[in-house]
Structure 1
Amino acid sequence: MKVTFLGTGTSQGVPVIGCECEVCRSLDYRDKRLRVSVLVEVDGKSLIIDSGPDFRQQMLRERVKRLDAVLFTHEHKDHTAGLDDIRAFNFLQHIDMPLYADQRVLTQLQQEFSYIFTNSNYPGVPKVELHPIQNEPFDVEGITVTPILVMHHRLPVYGFRIGDFTYITDANFISDVEKEKIKGSKVVVVNALRKEPHISHFSLSEALAMLEEVHPTHGYLTHISHLLGQHRLVEQELPAHVRLAYDGLSFTL
């Protein structure tokens, strides 16, 4: 399995428009964060978790030539807004793109991208297959995916475990039952928005406490805002087995 971080930023990305803070003015490439998404390549298949507004840029940067499915964590725009650009893969692969998400999320996609789901057959419209998921393991092209139900304030969101890799974004609460699904993962990715508490995201200390509890071999932090601080400085505060993710970072399992 190969995992590549396509984007590691919060909903505004980093730098933030109009901001003059040290992070937003940083010349460190690790402080340039597109909206959050990850590419998982396993058993010859390529899966994307979330297609945010930077999806096209991310596909071009990583030279992704094939995509077998898109998994959505939830319906917020910073995780779904790039869906239209899957039509490039329709053209390249001559397939309707499978989309996996909670039925609530699929319904929202049908509303926001209504032109995809009409019967007009307008040329160039993305072609998709909808696959509703629930809180139980499901199969994607022969790959077993285990959903992990977390809370984003009051909104249910799915994280996903694929083999020894677990990916969780936009969470501020994970029940003990769902944490059991995470335990045993070699790599766990979790959101860490900033150092101060937030109503719908883990803070840095909360994310580290969660990682300590599930105890992976390696932990990565994502969905990072400019308020967390400069990458090089925050890295110095982390335990040896935990790192800040950054756009373009990849690893193999």
Structure 2
Amino acid sequence: MENGMDTAQNSSPLSSLIFMGTGCSSAVPNAMCLIQSSDPPCPVCPQSLSIPPDQNPNYRGNTSLLIDYCQSDGKHNYILIDVGKTFREAVLRWFTFHKIPRVDSVILTHEHADAILGLDDIRAIQPFSPTNDINPTPIYLTQDSMDSVAVKFPYLVQKKLKEGQVIRRVAQLDWKIIESDHEKPFIASGLQFFPLPVMHGEDYVALGFLFGQKSKVAYISDVSHFIPATEAVISKSGGGQLDLLILDTLYKTSSHNTHFCFPQTLDAVKRICPKRALLIGMTHEFDHHKDNAYLTEWSKREGIVVQLAHDGLRIPIVL
């Protein structure tokens, strides 16, 4: 995968997918593992104290994907899915490493902290203007998410200053409302996205996204079970086989009421049957090297290539 997808299509402009974060809401390492000893000791989290993050695939920020979309004219647009609590850290680590110069648009899966609390930090990657006289970054989100963001970040939503209010430098954002309906696609920075509504707990709908024409990719970061219509759209037996499925897996052995865990994730991968799957959203229960060794054997048995993704992973792809 790291060496490219669908190399036969290399005559087309090459885009890429860059994993800004592949961890759970609290990220990895788990802080409790570092400040309190456990018996037995955690085999994953203490590595963060001795191994640089760029050499440690078990160091995981909040789930986030950057799409480096190369259009037919060779121009690159940069589309970011989710800006969580570790967004600034991801910028310092992976934008610099992969030479990402900007973000052209942002798409939000939902309005939980691990998806939106980096919205304020978008100003750090926008041109400096003490009067906020810059082009705003488009932010695509549902109306429910917009309502929540307006409460959490009123100063990012405010259209104009109140009388006597002083100008403060804040992120300049252009809010774009999308619908939770796979039949109502939208275009962000030249790339078409189909919303994929999924259940994130029994009382809450989050979005995944389907994108790409030459290579079909589905990104689903927060899911506890599939809405039948959504699964049909992305399954081999329904809407046609995906080239890549990027899918949530929180815990390794137990279950959770708002996320897929490892057994559910693998069952879903078998049902959907993509050509390849990369897993995200992992807690510190997962050891990247050991669990990918297990998944290598699983992949041989099932005929579907599945691996854990890691922060900083870059996948060349033709979209």
TM-score (norm 2): 0.75
What letter is aligned with 1:157? A
Q: Is 2:43 aligned against 1:22?
A: yes
Q: Counterpart in 2 of 1:115?
A: 155
Q: Counterpart in 2 of 1:150?
A: 198
Superposition CA RMSD, Å: 1.6
Q: Is 2:84 aligned against 1:52?
A: yes
Q: Is the 8 A contact 2:105 2:139 kept in 1?
A: yes
SS of aligned partner of 2:279: strand
Q: Is 2:194 aligned against 1:170?
A: no
| Distance in 2, Cα, partners of 1:2 & 1:141 | 15
Q: Is 2:282 aligned against 1:224?
A: yes
What letter is aligned with 2:26? Q
Runs of 4 or more above 2 Å deviation: 117-123
| Distance in 2, Cα, partners of 1:236 & 1:95 | 46
Q: Is 2:274 aligned against 1:234?
A: no
List per-residue Cα deviations over 1:42-95 (Å, max 9, x = no partner): 122111000011111211222221211110001110111111111133316932
Based on CA coordinates, which of the two structures has the bigger radius of gyration?
2
Q: Is the 8 A contact 2:78 2:189 kept in 1?
A: no
Question: 1:107 deviation in Å?
Answer: 1.3
Q: Is 2:309 aligned against 1:245?
A: yes
Identity %: 29
Count of residue correspondences: 252
Structure (1 or 2) with the greater strand fraction: 1
What letter is aligned with 1:230? D
Question: 1:140 deviation in Å?
Answer: 1.3
Structure 2 gaps, min length 5: 1-14, 34-40, 236-240, 300-304
Q: Is 2:128 aligned against 1:128?
A: no
Q: Counterpart in 1 of 2:68?
A: 41
Structure 1 gaps, min length 5: none
Question: 1:221 deviation in Å?
Answer: 0.5
Q: Counterpart in 1 of 2:6?
A: none
| Distance in 2, Cα, partners of 1:171 & 1:23 | 25
Question: 1:210 deviation in Å?
Answer: 0.8
| Distance in 2, Cα, partners of 1:117 & 1:131 | 12
| Distance in 1, Cα, partners of 2:171 & 2:79 | 17
